[in-house]
Chains A and B, each alone.
Chain A
Amino acid sequence: MPHTLVEKILLAHTDAAEVAPGQIIMVRCDVVMANDVSGPVAFRAMERMGARKVFDPQKVVMVADHFTPAKDAGSAALLRSLEDWCVAQGVTFYGQGRGGIEHTLLCEEGWVVPGTVIAGGDSHTCTYGALGAFGTGLGSTDIAFCLAFGEFWQAVPGTIQVAFEGAKPPFVTGKDLILAVIAHIGVAGGTNHVLEFVGGGAESLSIDERLAVANMAVEAGAETGLFPADATTAAYLRDRTTRPWAAERSDPDAQFAQRIRIVLDALSPLVAAPHSPGNVIPVDEARGVRIDQVYIGNCANGTLTDLRQAAEVLRGRRVHPRVRAIIVPATRSIYRQALREGLIDVFLEAGAIVSPPTCGACFGGHMGVLAAGERAVATTNRNFRGRMGSPDSEVYLANAWVAASAAVAGEIVHPAEFLSSEVRA
Chain B
Amino acid sequence: MILEGAALVIARDHVDTDVLYPGPYLNIVDPQQMKRYLFEGLDPSLRDRLREDTILVVGENFGTGSSREHVPLAMKAWGIRCLVGKSFARIFYRNCINLGLLAIPCREAAEAARDGSHLRIDTDAGVVEVDGRAFQMPVLPSFLLDIIAAGGLEAWARRRLTAG
Binding site for B on A (CB under 8 A): 24, 36-38, 40-41, 44-45, 48-51, 66-67, 71-72, 74-75, 78, 121-123, 137-142, 144-145, 148-149, 153, 155, 187-188, 191-192, 218, 221, 223, 276, 363-366, 369, 382, 384-387, 391
Q: Give Cα distance in the complex from A192 to B99, angstroms.
A: 20
Contact of A385 among B29, B41, B61, B64 (CB under 8 A): B41
Distance in angstroms from B89 CB to nearest chain A CB is 6
Q: Give Cα distance in the complex from A425 to B94, angstroms.
A: 51
Q: Does B133 contact A (CB under 8 A)?
A: no
Q: Does A50 lie within 8 Å of B94, measured CB to CB?
A: no
> Chain A: which residue is nearest B16 at the CB level?
A384
Q: Which of B23, B65, B144 has the most CB of A within 10 A?
A: B23
Q: Which residues of B contact A137 (CB under 8 A)?
A: 67, 91
In the complex, chain B residues 124-145 whose Cβ is within 8 Å of any chain A Cβ: 141, 143-144
Stretch of B2-10, B50-58, B109-117, B153-161 lying at the A interface: B153-161
27 contacts between A and B (CB under 8 A): A24-B144, A38-B67, A38-B68, A41-B29, A44-B29, A66-B26, A72-B27, A123-B67, A123-B91, A139-B69, A141-B69, A141-B95, A141-B153, A142-B95, A153-B143, A187-B61, A188-B64, A221-B90, A363-B18, A363-B26, A363-B66, A364-B18, A366-B24, A382-B65, A385-B41, A386-B22, A391-B19
Q: Which residues of A contact B153 (CB under 8 A)?
A: 141-142, 144-145
Q: Does B27 lie within 8 Å of A74, measured CB to CB?
A: yes
Q: Give Cα distance in the complex from A139 to B89, angstroms.
A: 12
Q: Which residues of B contact A41 (CB under 8 A)?
A: 29, 69-70, 73
> Chain B: which residue is nearest A26 at the CB level?
B143
Q: Give Cα distance in the complex from A221 to B152, angstroms.
A: 24
Q: Give Cα distance in the complex from A121 to B67, angstroms.
A: 7
Q: Does B89 lie within 8 Å of A221, measured CB to CB?
A: yes
Q: Does B90 lie within 8 Å of A142, measured CB to CB?
A: no
Q: Which of A49, A145, A366 has the most CB of B within 10 A?
A: A49
Q: Does B23 lie within 8 Å of A142, measured CB to CB?
A: no
Contact of B89 among A142, A148, A188 (CB under 8 A): A188
Distance in angstroms from A79 CB to nearest chain B CB is 9
Q: Give Cα distance in the complex from A166 to B29, angstroms.
A: 48
Q: Does A188 lie within 8 Å of B141, measured CB to CB?
A: no
Query: How many chain-B residues does the 8 Å CB contact rule pick out?
Result: 42
Distance in angstroms from A198 CB to nearest chain B CB is 23
Distance in angstroms from A138 CB to nearest chain B CB is 6
Q: Does B108 contact A (CB under 8 A)?
A: no
Q: What is the 8 Å Cβ interface bit string for chain B, positions 89-102, against chain A (1 contact, 0 not)?
A: 11100110011000
Q: Which residues of A contact B72 (CB under 8 A)?
A: 139
Distance in angstroms from A251 CB to nearest chain B CB is 25
Q: Give Cα distance in the complex from A391 to B40, angstroms.
A: 10
Q: Does B118 contact A (CB under 8 A)?
A: no
Q: Does A138 lie within 8 Å of B94, measured CB to CB?
A: yes
Q: Which residues of A contact B28 (CB under 8 A)?
A: 74
> Chain A: which residue is nearest B26 at the CB level?
A37
Q: Give Cα distance in the complex from A246 to B41, angstroms.
A: 45
Q: Which residues of A contact B23 (CB under 8 A)?
A: 363-365, 387
Distance in angstroms from A145 CB to nearest chain B CB is 6
Distance in angstroms from A362 CB to nearest chain B CB is 9
Q: Give Cα distance in the complex from A206 to B92, angstroms.
A: 32
Q: Does A38 lie within 8 Å of B69, measured CB to CB?
A: yes
> Chain A: which residue is nearest B73 at the CB level?
A41
Q: Does B157 lie within 8 Å of A49, measured CB to CB?
A: yes
Q: Which residues of A contact B29 (CB under 8 A)?
A: 40-41, 44, 78
Q: Give Cα distance in the complex from A142 to B68, angstroms.
A: 12
Q: Does A387 lie within 8 Å of B67, measured CB to CB?
A: no
